């Protein structure tokens, strides 16, 4: 059996240094509680830009620019070893980590942000980095489009792990790409919550025959520093739960293992039998005996899409 944990704690909103410190503390806490896998929600580093849903696209454009600049200054640049503290925490605590974060591509433009999800193995090595393929609605005001290079299921100390971000989990072909890679643990960091989202997590567990860990950031207005630009305009109700969290763990082929954890903070934990995922697919294997390659075929382009190629 493997113990897994989902973070349902807020970051230090739009403060990457303090958020990284908090993340390391949470890794240490999860390790003390016996976990071998820890999951952070979508854009947890340094906080989901909920302001894109709260400002009008026209009148709020200048305000979005100002908030984007703060977001950009607190995003993670892998080319500068931005996750070094988290990688060290993974290594010291023998912890596999799946983390949603906002990525600054320092190798290319140095400006565009991506909604990304990283998989760090228990030895501290980065096994995969996936950028969200399609930012949803006003998210396109702050995030660029990812490519297929991160659509991977990777071997880790806890089994084969893959992840899709938020509404990517509504994309049948993106899900199929993960199912076709012998997935044990399917992670869905999100900003979504509620019954419809939970039903989707249940469906994926059944469709994919895998453990499904879904999670959003549990966040109250009181968790957000009041020096954030336009704080009172964005968050007039100081008692509001901005996001209830709804962390949940579903068993292969369906059924709740733990959660949902609603309007609470802490770590959602469960013991899982990783091998149960493959065994559950005896009944239904979407990319195996239940596939019909004579009728349906999926082609996935995993080549990195680079806007500029330098030849010296």
Structural domains of the chain, with CATH: 2-280 (3.60.110.10)
Please say whether the beta carbons of 46 and 14 come within 8 A.
yes
Active site residue 265: no
Mean pLDDT computed over every residue of the chain = 96
166 in catalytic set: yes
Cβ proximity of 150 and 132 under 8 Å: no
Which among 9, 103, 117, 132 is annotated as catalytic?
A: 132
Structure token digits, residue 289: 């005996």
CA 25 distance to own-chain centroid: 19
Q: What is the pLDDT of residues 138-151, one digit of tens each?
A: 999 999 999 999 99
Convert the pLDDT of each residue in 167-217 to its tens digit: 999 999 999 999 999 999 999 999 999 999 999 999 999 999 999 999 999
Q: What is the C-alpha separation between 130 and 165, in angstroms, rounded?
A: 9
Task: Say if residue 61's pLDDT is above 90.
Answer: no
Q: Classify 254 as helix, strand or coil.
A: coil
Indicate the pTM of the whole model: 0.97
Q: Which of 117, 166, 210, 215 is catalytic?
A: 166
126-131 vs 113-120, strand pairing mode? antiparallel
Exactly one of 9, 42, 168, 207 is catalytic; name it. 42
Give the pLDDT score at 307.
Answer: 87
């Amino acid at each position: 059996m493997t113990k897994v944990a989902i973070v349902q704690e807020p970051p230090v909103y739009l403060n990457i240094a303090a958020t990284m410190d908090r993340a390391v503390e949470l890794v240490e806490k999860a390790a003390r509680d016996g976990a071998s896998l820890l999951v952070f929600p979508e854009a947890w580093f340094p906080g989901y830009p909920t302001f894109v849903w709260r400002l009008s696209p026209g009148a709020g454009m200048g305000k979005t620019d100002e908030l984007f600049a703060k977001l950009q200054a607190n995003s993670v640049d892998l080319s500068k070893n931005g996750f070094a503290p988290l990688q060290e925490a993974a290594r010291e605590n023998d912890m596999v980590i799946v983390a949603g974060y906002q990525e600054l591509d320092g190798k290319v433009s140095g400006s565009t942000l991506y909604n990304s999800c990283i998989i760090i193995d228990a030895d501290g090595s980065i096994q995969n980095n996936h950028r969200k393929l399609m930012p949803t609605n006003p998210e396109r005001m702050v995030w660029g489009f990812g490519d297929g290079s991160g659509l991977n299921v990777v071997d880790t100390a806890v089994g084969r792990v893959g992840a899709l971000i938020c509404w990517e989990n509504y994309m049948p072909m993106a899900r199929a790409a993960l199912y076709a890679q012998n997935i044990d643990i399917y992670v869905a960091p999100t900003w979504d919550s509620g019954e419809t989202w939970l039903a989707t997590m249940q469906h994926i567990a059944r469709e994919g025959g895998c453990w499904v860990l879904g999670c959003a950031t549990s966040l109250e207005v009181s968790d957000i520093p009041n020096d954030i630009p336009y704080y009172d305009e964005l968050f007039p109700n100081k008692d509001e739960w901005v996001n209830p969290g709804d962390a949940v763990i579903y068993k292969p082929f369906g059924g709740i293992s733990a959660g949902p954890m609603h309007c609470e903070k802490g770590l959602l934990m469960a013991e899982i039998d990783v091998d149960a995922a493959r065994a559950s697919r005896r009944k239904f294997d979407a990319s195996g005996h239940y596939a019909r390659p004579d009728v349906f075929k999926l082609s996935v382009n995993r080549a990195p899409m680079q806007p500029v190629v330098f030849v010296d």
